[in-house]
Amino acid sequence: MIIQTVRHYDFSKVKWDSRSWGNEVFDPAFLFCFRATPAELSGALVSHASGFALRIADKAHTGENEKHLNLRVLNYLSCTAPDGSCRVMEAELRMENDAPSQRYRIGFPLSLAGDPETEHEFAVFYDGVCFQILCDGIVMDRDFPFGRSFHCYEGRHVCGISSPALADYRMTNDLSGVTFSEKEVRRDAAIQYYTPFGFNTWVGDVVVALFRGRFHLFYLMDRRHHGSRVRRGAHEFWHMSSENLRDWIDHGPVVEIDSQWQTVGTGNAFVFDNKLHLSFGWHTDRQVPYPQTVKHLFFRNLADTGRTGEFRYGEIGTLVPSGASYTVSEDGVHFTRADRLIHYLENPSIFVQPDGKLHLIQDGVWESDHPGDWTLVQRGFPPHDMESFARNCLDCPTCFELDGWEYFAVGFTAFFGRRKGDTEWIDFVKEGRDPYDGSSVPMYSAWQDGRMIEGGWMNGIGWGTCLMRREMVALGNGNVGKRWVAESLPEFGAAETFAGKTPVAAAGDTLLEFRVDPAQGAFAVRFAGEGEACEFRIDPAKARAQWSSAGCPPEVPTFREQMKPETPSYFALPYCAYRGRDYAKENLSGVDAPFALRVLIHADPKLNAALIDVEIAGCHTMATLRGDLAVRFAEASGTGTKRFAPIK
């Protein structure tokens, strides 16, 4: 069971502007509202000289460029009607400093409103920070424009109403009467592959923590796969928690955008002073020039004192906040955002040390006795770019301990390990022993009974998709693998035996289970249907497995095998787990005797893609997400069982 709190807006106390049908203004804030049935809406609905527009358009019948936008970025086509159409209500807003052709666009497929003959309340409003479109008080889509909405300084400008259904529209620039309450949306569904409520809402970078017996998971709430605010992200941190890893509450935002300069970058969660802290970074210079931000004050402090210092918001004058900050909770539910900026770094991972001090690790190791005023105590860690075999970035540093070893991961590709007490790190990527499996920038937290749980998101169709959860497995001699989290899986029906080719669910989850005998040689499962087929193949004799499709070599090279001294970045490697598509894994454990192979095919229309997840011998996982495939059948080189679970 998943319970998500969703905001429900109420406009009953709004003072509507008597100037309607007069000289409408869409600056600096506005609310535009009307009632209609979806069936009576078509074509252009509203236009205004300021650039505000509202229309109905069939997004299923467009040119190729816009089709890709509607399919992959805006995700409208996940809600295509049985007749092949996709009628979308879409609003546009122009900002003063943008080119006339540039618009912020929000919208939603009208099929989500329900019965086309039932009257609904539709609303578009902009509060100076958030541009939203609603149906019956529920936010269907939103974006966070930067700048001032375009104002018509001369002349009299009246809304052009092109549909009689909007004859009684209401409008105001006074938003003081807008209120909202929290409503619960209950889903009898598993947490694995979770996406938040909505048709274009995704899980981005994930942070996990154990606090007072509950497992906490924070994620960057994403729309448009990092495309909001003209590809600047405009992310917020949202929060989920569970007492048993099966039943979850999505509490909603804990770091919410309330100013135009804000977009949140990943930090991590840590328990300090008996309170749960979530560090994060303001990626302010995505929209504000660096000289206008507070960052140079940190560098001045470093030059003068050797420490970063820290700044309260009220101490920086006209400078714009930027860099690291945090929010804190005593009960794990209610969070208070600190009014301090504590570092110039924008992805601050903070770890509590055995002596009680704090280490902030990203570009070097920084130390302090509280969240702020850091001193650099180690340069060059973690290694990155050309200094690292993995050519990793510095995003999302994380660490964990398991079976007498400690591990450190950073970015999409780097993974280091060492025995507890040792000083030198072993590069597991260089040795072909890393656990990467398609889950992006994973982070880790302890759970009950010595378990270690990973959280991440699945790459393959864009930045931010669905939640991926794993349990880390100690494999001996420092080797570490992954298995599925049993509590996170759907509940499947009765098993049926099949051999060779078998159909799978077009919507829902299909679980295939096999017993693989290494004496029989390599084992493969092919997945096909609509689009480009793919294959999972495991060769126990070579202790390697791979995902492949047309155009791949017969034996896909691993990350280690592709990396050359001159390779500039992991982006340059065609076969890499972070892409979530075709890649290989070597040095497999548990495959030298008959072993279990489990395959979960997740078919969710919202994803508009095939997510296929494999668990090997309870020791390794390998997932792939393919936007060019809808799986209709699987064909195995052996006998297996099949079970189904519907999408709920």
pLDDT of 269-285, one tens digit each?
A: 999 999 999 999 999 99
Distance from C-alpha of 5 to C-alpha of 333, rounded to nearest angstrom: 13
**What separation in angstroms does the CA of 565 have from each of 74, 146, 390?**
39, 42, 11
Residue with tokens 């034996």: 555
pLDDT given for residue 39 in this prediction: 95
Question: CB-based contacts of 291: which residues, under 8 Å, 6+ apart?
Answer: none
pLDDT given for residue 624 in this prediction: 98
Question: Beta partners for 286?
Answer: none
**What separation in angstroms does the CA of 221 have from each of 69, 224, 240, 371?**
20, 10, 12, 25
Mean pLDDT throughout 372-394? 95
The CATH number of 7-180, from 2.40.128, 2.170.130, 3.30.200, 2.60.120, is 2.60.120
Helix (H, G, I), strand (E, B) or coil at 76: helix
Distance from C-alpha of 254 to C-alpha of 240, rounded to nearest angstrom: 10
pLDDT given for residue 128 in this prediction: 94
5: its two tokens: 């709190």
Q: What is the pLDDT of residues 200-247, one digit of tens each?
A: 999 999 999 999 999 999 999 999 999 999 999 999 999 999 999 999
Bin 61: left if φ > 0, else alpha if -120 < ψ < 50, else beta.
beta
Dihedral sign computed on CA atoms, order 140, 145, 151, 152: negative
Residue 106: which H helix or E strand, with range? strand 104-109
- For residue 362, which of 374, 350, 375 has the smallest C-alpha distance? 350
386: its two tokens: 């050309």
- For residue 308, which of 261, 354, 375 has the smallest C-alpha distance? 375
Give the CA dihedral 229, 605, 64, 464, nearest 10 degrees: 30
Distance from C-alpha of 405 to C-alpha of 418, rounded to nearest angstrom: 6
pLDDT given for residue 289 in this prediction: 94
Domain spans of the chain, in order of start: 7-180, 207-214+259-486, 490-645
- For residue 217, which of 239, 235, 197 has the smallest C-alpha distance? 239
Bin 26: left if φ > 0, else alpha if -120 < ψ < 50, else beta.
alpha
Question: CB-based contacts of 354: which residues, under 8 Å, 6+ apart?
Answer: none
Which CATH homologous superfamily contains domain 490-645?
Exo-inulinase; domain 1 (2.60.120.560)
**What separation in angstroms does the CA of 289 have from each of 85, 207, 261, 565?**
43, 29, 11, 36
In single-letter form, the type of residue at position 316 comes to I
Dihedral sign computed on CA atoms, order 143, 144, 146, 152: positive
Which CATH homologous superfamily contains domain 207-214+259-486?
Glycosyl hydrolase domain; family 43 (2.115.10.20)
Helix (H, G, I), strand (E, B) or coil at 203: strand
Phi, then psi, of 297 in degrees rounded to 5: -70, -35
Task: Let me know if the fold of 207-214+259-486 is the same as that of 490-645.
Answer: no
Give the CA dihedral 395, 546, 620, 209, nearest 10 degrees: 20
Distance from C-alpha of 497 to C-alpha of 642, rounded to nearest angstrom: 6
pLDDT interval class at 526 (50, 70, 90): very high
Portion of the chain with pLDDT greater than 90, in percent: 89
Compute the 3-state secondary structure of the chain and give helix, strand, coil in percent, each to the nearest 5: 10, 45, 45
Burial letters 569-582, b for 16+ CB under 10 A, else e: ebeebebbbbbbbb
In single-letter form, the type of residue at position 526 comes to R
pLDDT given for residue 167 in this prediction: 84
pLDDT given for residue 49 in this prediction: 81
What is the DSSP track for 145-193? --S-B----SS----EE--GGGTT-EEES--TT-EEEEEEEEE---STT
Q: What is the pLDDT of residues 593-609, one digit of tens each?
A: 999 999 999 999 999 99
Phi, then psi, of 63 in degrees rounded to 5: -70, 170
127: its two tokens: 């509060």
476: its two tokens: 């001996």
556: its two tokens: 């896909």
pLDDT given for residue 455 in this prediction: 98
